[in-house]
């Protein structure tokens, strides 16, 4: 038994740390968390007549156009906003690690030595004296016994903040993918508009040459020549405007991607570049519960912020109760280095402390009020986020229900204006109609083509909006 005595302080220190850890967290003063009641109808609006598509389809499967898919992959690798979001996650993870470390004792090992000389004039014996002291110890430094959950709630708040940052990063990725797809689709539509304007300009120049030759022969009036000239100038203006717009679209896409996309990833230079679907048609099934909105990153982030504010209330309540801290050490001490680990050299100290709040000018009460007010703010923010998500889905589905009819009507209108333009040209050549009729028919036909391009872009953007608004499927696969 005597051989074990020198190690008794170390055992006591270990038992103290274990007992402290067991006692810590006996009480948690944070209110029980309960998600607020959903402030939206229990089901999403009816989706229409199209066959539903699974909501968990990965984005690589959702985008069926290889060029667009490659552009998105390039953006995910290069975009600076996404890099910042990823670094924010690393920072939040580190902050949580710091907060969680407070749950455990800080054990430190130390060794030291000192040597001093006292002159004879200050020595009781009148002779100079040299003294030495050496020590080696293991100790706890101000370890707080978390009886009322203050440290645990601070750790929980940091954890929820980390989860919130992670959800925000996922939301940033979704927004990036959606923005890149939108910019790519806009570029494809504007390139088609530019090609249409160029084709129209070429056609108008040919018509102008014919009218000009006829005017020289006296077969056409000066009015017809001026009208034909006006169509050429209008087409030239459209070509210049769309050419500038295409360049701006490419610049916007390059900014989102984080690099200039190679030519093989840009929209194909085809007459009907936007007429073919580049994304899947995603329509939720009937009676889809609105609870699916909880998978959206912004809703998840709002929920984690609410959970963090709940934990902050617990930490603020714990400030009204005593705080117990332990400082202890155990080791050996000797006046000689050789005797540092010999029998009888053990040394230890145990210094518990308790801090009881008596008067703080109301600071703790005010801090609790701030935490409770912040929790109410987060509840309102969560409810508003859910309501916004529901409206975004409802608006996208409302637009989806009429898009097929609008596209069908526009295609029919395009066919009618095309026939009208051809007939007006035939009548003008035969002398049975004025050039003004040709001009009106040509403008109507050109406007119908431009409107159809815009509707095709709207239809593709609507698919993307539904996919983004539901917050589903944005996984790697």
What are 368-398's pLDDT values in tens digits? 999 999 999 999 999 999 999 999 988 988 8
Q: Does the structure show a pLDDT above 50 at 8?
A: no
Res 413: pLDDT? 95
pLDDT category, 48, cuts 50, 70, 90?
Answer: low
Apex CA 338: angle with CA 333 and CA 339, to 5°?
40
The least confident of 25-29, 143-147, 214-218, 405-409 is: 25-29
Apex CA 305: angle with CA 303 and CA 310, to 5°?
95
Q: Does the structure show a pLDDT above 50 at 10?
A: no
Percentage of the chain beyond pLDDT 90 is 27
pLDDT category, 464, cuts 50, 70, 90?
Answer: confident
pLDDT category, 284, cuts 50, 70, 90?
Answer: low
The least confident of 3-7, 90-94, 314-318, 399-403 is: 3-7
Q: For residue 247, how many other CB atoms are within 10 A of its CB?
A: 12
Q: Comparing C-alpha atoms, which of 82, 96, 86, 84 is closest to residue 160?
A: 96
pLDDT category, 52, cuts 50, 70, 90?
Answer: very low
Q: Which residue is it, tokens 């007992």?
A: 19
pLDDT category, 282, cuts 50, 70, 90?
Answer: low
Apex CA 44: angle with CA 42 and CA 49, to 5°?
140
The least confident of 109-113, 196-200, 218-222, 472-476 is: 472-476
Beta-bridge partners for 133: 114
Res 9: pLDDT? 46
Percentage of the chain beyond pLDDT 70 is 86
Domains and CATH numbers, the chain: 29-103+147-320+363-470 (1.20.1600.10)
> For residues 388 and 104, which has the higher predicted lDDT (pLDDT)?
388
The tens digit of pLDDT for each residue in 340-364 reads: 777 767 878 888 888 888 888 888 8
| Residue 408, both tokens | 């069908």
Res 36: pLDDT? 86
Q: What is the mean pLDDT of residues 12-27?
A: 51
3-class state of residue 346 by DSSP: strand
Q: Does the structure show a pLDDT above 60 at 104?
A: yes
Q: Which residue is it, tokens 């009881």?
A: 356
User: Using H for helix, E for strand and C for coil, what is the string for 350-380?
Assistant: EEEEEECCCCCCCHHHHHHHHHHHHHHHHHH
The backbone region for 360, taken as left when phi is positive above 0, alpha when psi lies in -120 to 50, beta otherwise, is: alpha
Q: Does the structure show a pLDDT above 50 at 334?
A: yes
> For residues 348 and 104, which has the higher predicted lDDT (pLDDT)?
348
Contact between 283 and 472 under an 8 Å Cβ cutoff? The reply is no
Q: What's the mean per-residue pLDDT of the chain?
A: 81
Q: Does the structure show a pLDDT above 90 at 84?
A: no
Contact between 386 and 40 under an 8 Å Cβ cutoff? The reply is yes
Q: Does the structure show a pLDDT above 80 at 163?
A: yes
3-class state of residue 288 by DSSP: coil
Classify residue 4 by burial, with Cβ atoms within 10 Å: 0-12, 13-18, 19+.
Answer: exposed
Max mean pLDDT range (2-11, 33-42, 173-182, 407-416) = 407-416
The least confident of 11-20, 26-35, 230-239 is: 11-20
DSSP string of 165-194, one letter each residue: HHHHHHHHHHHHHHHHHHHHHHHHHHHHHH
């Amino acid at each position: 038994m005597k051989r074990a005595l020198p190690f008794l302080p170390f055992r006591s220190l270990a038992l103290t740390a274990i007992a402290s850890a067991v006692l810590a967290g006996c009480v948690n003063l944070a209110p029980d968390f309960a998600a607020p009641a959903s402030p939206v109808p229990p089901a999403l609006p009816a989706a229409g007549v199209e066959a539903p598509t699974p909501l968990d389809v990965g984005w690589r499967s959702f985008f069926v156009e290889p060029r667009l898919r490659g552009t998105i992959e390039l953006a995910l690798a290069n975009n600076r906003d996404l890099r910042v979001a990823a670094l924010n996650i690393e920072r939040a993870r580190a902050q949580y690690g710091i907060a969680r470390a407070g749950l455990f004792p800080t054990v430190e090992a130390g060794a030291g030595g000192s040597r001093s000389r006292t002159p004879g004039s200050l020595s009781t014996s009148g002779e100079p004296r040299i003294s030495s002291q050496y020590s080696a110890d293991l100790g706890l430094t101000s370890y707080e016994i978390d009886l009322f959950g203050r440290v645990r709630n601070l750790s929980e708040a940091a954890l929820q903040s980390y989860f919130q940052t992670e959800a925000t990063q996922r939301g940033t990725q979704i927004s990036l993918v959606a923005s890149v797809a939108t910019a790519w689709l806009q570029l494809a539509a504007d390139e088609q508009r530019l090609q249409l304007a160029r084709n129209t300009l070429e056609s108008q120049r040919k018509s102008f040459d014919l009218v000009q030759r006829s005017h020289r022969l006296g077969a056409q009036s000066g009015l017809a020549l001026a009208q034909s000239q006006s169509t050429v100038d209008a087409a030239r203006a459209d070509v210049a405007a769309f050419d500038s717009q295409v360049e701006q679209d490419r610049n916007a896409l390059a900014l989102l991607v984080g690099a200039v996309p190679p030519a093989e990833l840009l929209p194909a230079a085809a007459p009907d570049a936007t007429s073919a679907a580049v994304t899947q048609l995603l329509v939720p099934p009937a009676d889809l519960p609105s609870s699916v909105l909880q998978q959206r990153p912004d809703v998840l982030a709002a929920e984690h912020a609410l959970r963090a504010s709940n934990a902050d209330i617990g930490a603020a309540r714990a400030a009204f109760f005593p705080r117990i801290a332990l400082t202890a050490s155990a080791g050996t001490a000797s006046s000689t280095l050789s005797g540092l680990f010999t029998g009888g050299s053990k040394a230890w100290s145990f210094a518990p402390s308790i801090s009881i709040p008596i008067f703080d000018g109301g600071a703790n009460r005010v801090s609790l009020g701030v935490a409770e007010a912040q929790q109410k703010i987060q509840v309102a923010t969560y409810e508003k986020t859910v309501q916004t998500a529901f409206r975004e889905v409802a608006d996208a589905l409302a637009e989806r229900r009429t898009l097929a009819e609008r596209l069908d009507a526009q295609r029919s209108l395009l066919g009618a204006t095309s026939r009208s333009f051809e007939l007006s040209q035939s009548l003008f050549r035969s002398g049975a109609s004025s050039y003004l009729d040709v001009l009106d028919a040509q403008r109507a036909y050109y406007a119908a083509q431009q409107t159809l391009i815009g509707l095709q872009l709207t239809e593709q953007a609507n698919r993307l909006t539904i996919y983004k608004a539901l917050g589903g499927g944005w996984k790697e696969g």
